[in-house]
């Protein structure tokens, strides 16, 4: 048994000793035993997975622990308070865990702890010069200050996580707004192009063709309908060229959208 | 680039390492002072530095520690969201969530409109292409 717990505690534990036991015969025998609702025989019991660690039903119950990779883990993710770890708290911890507490107290506490840390170090250096045998006390104080600082920082983590979430959401919102305005712009452009095409294709054919003067002007060519172009295409070579120009105009109008 | 909190944590760890290394330097490089009428002791473990070098290094170590402390102070001061309570943050998150879903609806609307227009555009292009062929065949029936 000692052997086993030592194996579990190592950082890279070997495979469990029973991994060879999962033969086809053994698993079949186990399934049979379970099907007949008997307690499996002892040599098969180790093939059954252990029940999950009890998470503790009440809110005050200490959550169950399990071992993995050489460490003991709690089934519930909680940050143990310094009191639980037996380390004196150097900051006023009136409302550290309660929702709505003002996190700015941590900032001032951290600043004070930094100053204490430097002063303690100065003391330590001084003591080392005068009476070196007094050093353990100072080192212990420095250790406690450092642990306290780290604890405060870890308490700050959820706050920072929320803050990062807010920043990410703001960025996302910005991206979406940019996409919307782009889509809007594209739609408007397309609509205007389609509208100008409409005026070309739906213009009255009788207005064009016969009136060459008008069709020579840019405006005339713009409103020249393709139907009328088809009607006039058999006419003079001048008209044929104009018809070609009219086609080009239509394709020019389409070009930016296609 | 890690977040500020991790940077701060690392800076504190580095400060502790600097504490140790400064102490270690003082321990291993100091000179000895002879007591009255006694020979100056020596220790093979101690590589005595030149007094000037020793003083300069001491100053440098002290300065490094102070710079690291200033860095820590700066990092503490720039911790994100200081002075914002959890409730404020949650309210902000909820508001942003609402805004995001609104924006998403609007985006979908415009995407649908874009598709619609694209299809319209396609049909217009097809129509025009068809007419163009008609014109060309009418103009030059031989082809």
| Complex ipTM | 0.71
CB distance A99–B87 less than 8 Å?
A: yes
Nearest-Cα residue of chain A relative to residue B83: A104
Whether the CB of B69 is below 8 Å from some CB of chain A: the reply is: yes
Nearest to B105 by CA among A96, A180, A222: A180
Whether the CB of B2 is below 8 Å from some CB of chain A: the reply is: no
Per-residue pLDDT of chain B (143 residues; tens, 9 = 90+): 578 888 888 999 999 999 999 988 888 888 787 777 777 777 777 778 888 888 999 999 999 999 999 999 998 888 776 667 778 888 889 999 999 999 999 999 988 988 888 888 888 889 888 988 888 888 876 65
- C-alpha–C-alpha distance, residues B23 and A119, integer Å: 15
CB distance B23–A128 less than 8 Å?
A: yes
Q: Are A79 and A132 in contact (CB under 8 A)?
A: no
CB distance A165–B125 less than 8 Å?
A: no
Choose between A177 and A245: higher pLDDT. A177
CB distance B26–A153 less than 8 Å?
A: no
Mutate to test the interface with A, among B2, B65, B85 (most CBs of A within 10 A): B85
- C-alpha–C-alpha distance, residues A117 and A132, integer Å: 19
Residue A106: exposed, middle, or buried by beta-carbon count in 10 A (0-12, 13-18, 19+)? buried
For the segment A112-116, the average pLDDT, to the nearest whole number, is 89
CB distance A258–B73 less than 8 Å?
A: no
Which stretches within A10-134 are classed as H helix? 24-35, 42-45, 82-85, 104-130
| DSSP conformational letter for A67 | E
- C-alpha–C-alpha distance, residues B24 and B30, integer Å: 10
Nearest-Cα residue of chain B relative to residue A197: B124
Within 8 A of A249 by CB-CB distance, chain B residues are none
Q: Are B4 and B75 in contact (CB under 8 A)?
A: yes
Within 8 A of A107 by CB-CB distance, chain B residues are 76-77, 79, 82
Choose between A77 and B54: higher pLDDT. B54
B51 phi, psi to nearest 5 deg: -50, -40
pLDDT digits (tens, 9 = 90+) for A157-204: 888 888 888 889 999 999 999 999 998 898 888 888 888 877 766 654
- C-alpha–C-alpha distance, residues B20 and B24, integer Å: 6
Q: Which of residues 77-116 of B touch A (CB under 8 A)?
A: 77, 79-87, 89-90, 92-93, 96-97, 99-100, 103-104, 106-107, 110-111, 113-114
Nearest CB partner across the interface for A100, out of B22, B83, B86: B86
Highest mean pLDDT: which range of A25-39, A96-110, B18-32: B18-32
Mutate to test the interface with B, among A110, A227, A249 (most CBs of B within 10 A): A110
Q: Are A123 and A181 in contact (CB under 8 A)?
A: no
Q: Tell me, what's the pLDDT at A7?
A: 57
Within 8 A of B131 by CB-CB distance, chain A residues are 226-227, 230
Within 8 A of B19 by CB-CB distance, chain A residues are 121, 124, 142
pLDDT digits (tens, 9 = 90+) for A216-227: 444 444 444 444
Q: Tell me, what's the pLDDT at B102?
A: 92
Confidence of residue A37 (pLDDT cuts 50, 70, 90): low
User: Across chain A, what does the average pLDDT equal?
Assistant: 70
Nearest to A209 by CA among A196, A220, A198, A201: A220
Angstrom CA distances, A11 to A1, A8, A17, A74, A184, stand at 18, 8, 17, 17, 58
Q: Which of residues 13-42 of B touch A (CB under 8 A)?
A: 15-16, 19, 22-23, 26
Within 8 A of B120 by CB-CB distance, chain A residues are 194
Mutate to test the interface with B, among A169, A181, A193, A202 (most CBs of B within 10 A): A169
Query: For residue A175, what are its two tokens?
Result: 């991206």
Nearest to A175 by CA among B100, B97, B95: B100
Q: Tell me, what's the pLDDT at B81?
A: 63
Confidence of residue A249 (pLDDT cuts 50, 70, 90): low
């Amino acid at each position: 048994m000692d052997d086993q717990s030592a194996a579990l505690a190592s950082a890279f534990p070997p495979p469990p000793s029973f991994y060879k036991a999962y033969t086809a015969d053994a698993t079949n025998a186990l399934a049979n035993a379970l099907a007949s609702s008997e307690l499996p025989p002892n040599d098969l019991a180790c093939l059954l997975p252990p029940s999950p660690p009890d998470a503790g039903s009440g809110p005050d119950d200490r959550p169950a622990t399990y071992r993995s990779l050489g460490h003991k883990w709690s089934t519930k993710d909680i940050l143990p308070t310094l009191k639980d770890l037996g380390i004196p708290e150097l900051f006023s911890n009136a409302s550290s865990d309660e929702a709505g507490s003002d996190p700015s107290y941590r900032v001032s506490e951290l600043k004070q702890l930094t100053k204490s840390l430097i002063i303690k170090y100065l003391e330590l250096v001084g003591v080392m010069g005068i009476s070196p045998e007094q050093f353990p006390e100072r080192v212990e104080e420095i250790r406690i200050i450092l642990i306290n600082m780290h604890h405060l920082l870890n308490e700050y983590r959820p706050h920072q996580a929320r803050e990062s979430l807010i920043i990410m959401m703001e960025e996302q919102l910005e991206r979406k707004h940019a996409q919307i305005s782009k889509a809007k712009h594209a739609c408007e452009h397309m609509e205007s192009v389609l509208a100008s095409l409409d005026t070309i294709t739906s213009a009255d054919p009788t207005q064009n063709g016969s009136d060459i003067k008008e069709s020579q002007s840019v405006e005339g060519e713009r409103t020249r309908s393709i139907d009328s172009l088809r009607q006039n295409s058999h006419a003079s070579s001048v008209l044929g060229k104009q018809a070609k120009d009219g086609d080009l105009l239509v394709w020019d109008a389409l070009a930016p959208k296609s | 680039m890690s977040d500020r909190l991790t940077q701060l944590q690392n800076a504190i760890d580095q400060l502790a390492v600097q504490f140790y290394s400064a102490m270690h330097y003082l321990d291993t490089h100091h000179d000895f002072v002879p007591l009255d009428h006694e020979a100056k002791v020596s220790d093979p473990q101690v590589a005595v530095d030149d007094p000037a070098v020793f003083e300069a290094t001491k100053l440098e170590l002290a300065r490094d520690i102070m710079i690291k402390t200033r860095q820590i102070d700066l990092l503490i001061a720039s911790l994100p969201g200081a002075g914002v309570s959890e409730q404020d943050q949650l309210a902000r998150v909820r508001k942003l969530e609402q805004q995001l879903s609104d924006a998403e609806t609007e985006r979908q609307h415009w995407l649908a409109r874009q598709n619609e227009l694209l299809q319209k555009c396609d049909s217009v292009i097809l129509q025009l292409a068809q007419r163009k062929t008609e014109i060309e065949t009418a103009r030059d029936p031989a082809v």
